[in-house]
Structure 1
Amino acid sequence: MAATDTAPKHSGTMARLLPIMAAVFAAFLLIGLALPVLPLHLHQGLGFGPFAVGLVTGSQFVASLLSRIGAGNYADGRGGKRAVVVGLVAAALAGLVYLGSLTLLDRPTASATVLFVGRAVLGAAESFIITGGVAWGLALAGGRNSGKVIAWIGMAMFAALALGAPIGSALYEAGGFAAIALGTTLLPLATLLATLPMRGVKAAGVAARQSWTSVAQAVWLPGVGAAFSSLGYGAILSFAALLFAERGWQPVWLPFTAYAASLIAARLCFGHLPDRFGGARVAAVFVLVEAAGLLSIWLAPGPPVAAIGAVLTGLGYSLVYPGLGAEAVEDLPASNRGLAMGLYTVFLDVALGFGSPALGLIAASAGLRLVFLAAAAAALPALAIALLLGRKARATSPGTKRAAAG
């Protein structure tokens, strides 16, 4: 079936996306399994310190960053479904590498080195799964539903990561890291068996694609806006629990749970707004909500206000990222949307990879509360970019062009 740019109705779009969302959910569930327990295995099981723990766990994110563009090109050239399949196979391979590391427990350095490789393979798998999933969804649902596709598939990813952490902790407690390795091997294989019968979309020909520089030109401005707005996510992810612990607030998991629940609910209920009202316009409104939430955490006198701030931050970010993402792919042909989403996600990787350490420097020098003020201030450039993109969209709309011609 040739790639099209039709705009199915809301219920039809959900029906088309649900199988892809299920595949992405299952794939990212296995990524979430190791998030809370890999540092424990490296430190308690193998005896390594914080630097080695950071090196091994960080290899996944570096590999994700380096493979984004390749994953996007593959999705455009071979189809989004094939990219997801490649990602699932790579994820199962990462699980086998995890299992291999357990045979070297008597040689901790060798075992940690094998884990480093496994994490890198899993990072590349993650790139192919999420980039391929979004490209597959865009091909099925049509470009006019791009905001909805990005929002809903991203919602499946967030839900899986949030649920994977407690499941991973339970598995680790019951069977040690061997249970995590086995789950990382078997879950992608089961997901692969369920994915293969799904309906794919034939990739467009090479001649229909625009150049890499044309795609980068369309993506860079929305990507920069997304990077600035993503610092709020980084602040919640890395420093909200530390703030609660520092102030003696309980439970320490409350801010991230409130953030994730709010983001998931908002994307489920309001994911269609960027397609209806314009991605830039929606992003401009919701980035203000995100900033208000971060300011609430900065000023919070106690856990209830901080939790409300986390809810507002999640609500705001929920539609900033897909809203700007819809702007990034709006004027591109279907044959380039995989590469566009790969490039767009690079900005998120950079924001979390470099922005989170920068926020850490602020925390070390000025205190944890100032992290959330700084993240709120970072929303201002994102707001300016959203307003600029909205002005450009109005200037190039069909009605404006007709008026100018008249």
Structure 2
Amino acid sequence: MEHKINMNIGNPAERDFIRILTPIIISVFTIYLTIGMTLGILPGFITHDLNFGGLIVGIVMGLQSLTTLLTRAYSGKIADTKGAKTGYQKGILFVIFSGMIYMAAAFFSHNILIALSLIFLARIVHGISESLSITGALTWGIGLTGAEKSGKVMTWNGIAMYAGIAIGAPVAIWINSYFGLTYVFALIIVLSIFGWTLTTKLPDLVVAKIHIRTPFYKVIGLIAGQGLGLAFSSIGFACISSFISLLFAENHWGNPSIAFMAFGIFYILTRVFFSSFPDKYGGYKVALVSLIIEITGQLLIGFSSSEIMALVGCSLTGIGFSLIFPALGVLAIKKVEPQMRGTALGAYAAFFDFSLGLAGPVAGIIAGWYNYQAIYLFGAISCLLAMFILLFNNRNK
């Protein structure tokens, strides 16, 4: 079947692609394992150990994405002017630093204000690390394998990212239940060091010596249509990542890690089996169909009366959200020169960060006014807005 991935291992070009990209993808996976681990345990730590409410959970969870958003221009500039490898490895150093701060927060859990302050600081540092690492990884991978494979690079980076998040959350919950919070945070440091070693032998990109660079705000303007579509479609994912564990606990539905796994598994399977769809049918068509599926998933969670219904909603959200980033991302980077690719990727990803940074606090307020299920109606409405934005841009392109 044409839409299935054909790895064509016997092809020398394909072997080179796999050889070059595999260390980057595995390293990205380790970085996002650390992010998934914090998503799995921080909401419970904040509500049960530190005795804060849903609004604080939303602020803490959104703070990392807000920081990533504010540092996207910097990370794109580093990738374009200092080298993508340099930017990526700086990002890993920040992950190591965040792990140390998380450990300090666990140590001071008896003093809730100190612990919460350290968690805020750790989220900021983790946000900087995410900005540098994923912008560096995408720019690095596309630069080493060629612009014609940019969609493929984005697809496999996305698989690594969400596989890390999906696996990291249940792993952290399991480690915390048997060994304690400190071991979870120590593992963040170990994983980061491992991710560093995987990519040390890969070459950096040649830095283009250009004197006039397009300002970041102009790059944002160029890719705003795709970026806004990504931003509103990402809110459904933000609602699951920040509040699904609290929804399961409120309804006594058992282990919430299954919800993370349901989202992650169907997200990955969709990318593996349908990654050619943006090229075959066009980015806008794929994004619109994906949004319809994501809306259905969010509504199922919002009106769920059982654990199974909520899990189906998480699965459909994973299917719907899976192809939106590469579908719109390929269109976005075509609007800039190759020398500005890192900045364009940073600007495009900034819309994703903005939505996650905003969605956490807003969803926390909604939960306080109504309940946790109402959050997913907010996610469905956001996806509907994304559809209108994409239809408008497609009509006026």
* TM-score bracket, shorter-length normalisation: 0.7 to 0.9
Is the aligned partner of 1:325 residue 2:329? yes
Distance 1:259 1:349 in 2: 19
Displacement after TM superposition at 1:153 (Å): 0.6
1:171/1:179 contact within 8 Å kept:
yes
The code of the aligned residue for 1:64 comes to: T
CA deviations on 1:204-231 (whole Å, 9 max, x unpaired) are 2234743334311212121111111112
Distance 1:271 1:192 in 2: 28
The equivalent of 1:275 in structure 2 is 279
CA deviations on 1:57-81 (whole Å, 9 max, x unpaired) are 6543332222122111111112222
Q: 1:347 aligns with which of 342, 348, 351?
A: 351
Q: 1:32 aligns with which of 9, 33, 36?
A: 36
The equivalent of 1:22 in structure 2 is 26
The equivalent of 1:403 in structure 2 is none
- Which deviates more from structure 2 when the two are superposed, residues 333-342 or residues 294-303? 294-303
Structure 1 residues 245, 165: CA separation in 2 closer, same or farther (over 3 Å shift)?
closer
The equivalent of 1:382 in structure 2 is 386
The code of the aligned residue for 1:352 comes to: L
Query: Unaligned regions of 5+ residues in structure 1, if any?
Result: 1-7, 394-406
Q: 2:64 aligns with which of 52, 60, 78?
A: 60
The code of the aligned residue for 2:189 comes to: T
- Which deviates more from structure 2 when the two are superposed, residues 220-229 or residues 107-116? 107-116
User: Rg bigger for which structure?
Assistant: 1
1:30/1:187 contact within 8 Å kept:
yes
The SS at the match of 1:37 is: helix
- Which deviates more from structure 2 when the two are superposed, residues 155-164 or residues 340-349? 340-349
Distance 2:257 2:178 in 1: 22
Is the aligned partner of 1:188 residue 2:183? no
Q: Residues 83-94 of structure 1 correspond to what in structure 2 (within 5 A)?
A: 83-94=87-98
| Larger relative contact order (CA 8 Å, sep ≥ 6) | 2
Q: Residues 119-198 of structure 1 correspond to what in structure 2 (within 5 A)?
A: 119-198=123-202
Distance 2:97 2:237 in 1: 30
The code of the aligned residue for 2:223 comes to: V
Distance 1:109 1:147 in 2: 45
The equivalent of 1:206 in structure 2 is 210
Between the two proteins, the alignment pairs up a number of residues equal to 385
The equivalent of 2:75 in structure 1 is 71
Structure 1 residues 267, 209: CA separation in 2 closer, same or farther (over 3 Å shift)?
farther
2:58/2:360 contact within 8 Å kept:
no
Distance 1:190 1:118 in 2: 20
The SS at the match of 2:323 is: helix
- Which deviates more from structure 2 when the two are superposed, residues 350-359 or residues 16-25? 350-359
Distance 1:374 1:119 in 2: 24
Distance 1:359 1:111 in 2: 23
Query: Unaligned regions of 5+ residues in structure 2, if any?
Result: 1-11
1:218/1:329 contact within 8 Å kept:
no
The equivalent of 2:292 in structure 1 is 288
Q: 1:82 aligns with which of 50, 74, 86?
A: 86
Distance 1:342 1:196 in 2: 23
The equivalent of 1:118 in structure 2 is 122
Structure 1 residues 273, 234: CA separation in 2 closer, same or farther (over 3 Å shift)?
same
Structure 1 residues 261, 10: CA separation in 2 closer, same or farther (over 3 Å shift)?
same
The code of the aligned residue for 2:198 comes to: A
The equivalent of 1:223 in structure 2 is 227
The code of the aligned residue for 1:143 comes to: A
1:325/1:344 contact within 8 Å kept:
yes
CA deviations on 1:35-90 (whole Å, 9 max, x unpaired) are 33345556776x56447766666543332222122111111112222111111122
Q: 2:237 aligns with which of 211, 233, 237?
A: 233
TM-score scaled by length of structure 2: 0.83
Displacement after TM superposition at 1:21 (Å): 0.9
The SS at the match of 2:180 is: helix
RMSD: 3.2
Q: 2:318 aligns with which of 302, 314, 317?
A: 314
Structure 1 residues 304, 71: CA separation in 2 closer, same or farther (over 3 Å shift)?
same
Q: 1:261 aligns with which of 244, 251, 265?
A: 265
Displacement after TM superposition at 1:113 (Å): 3.9
Displacement after TM superposition at 1:168 (Å): 2.2
Displacement after TM superposition at 1:184 (Å): 2.6
Displacement after TM superposition at 1:317 (Å): 0.8
Q: Residues 385-396 of structure 1 correspond to what in structure 2 (within 5 A)?
A: 385-391=389-395
Displacement after TM superposition at 1:197 (Å): 0.7
2:69/2:351 contact within 8 Å kept:
no
Distance 1:392 1:138 in 2: 29
The SS at the match of 1:135 is: helix
Structure 1 residues 176, 21: CA separation in 2 closer, same or farther (over 3 Å shift)?
same
1:101/1:114 contact within 8 Å kept:
yes
Identity percentage of aligned residues: 32
Distance 1:220 1:176 in 2: 44
1:83/1:129 contact within 8 Å kept:
yes
The equivalent of 2:6 in structure 1 is none
The equivalent of 2:9 in structure 1 is none
Structure 1 residues 365, 189: CA separation in 2 closer, same or farther (over 3 Å shift)?
closer
CA deviations on 1:78-131 (whole Å, 9 max, x unpaired) are 222211111112222233444556776786655554454333222211111111
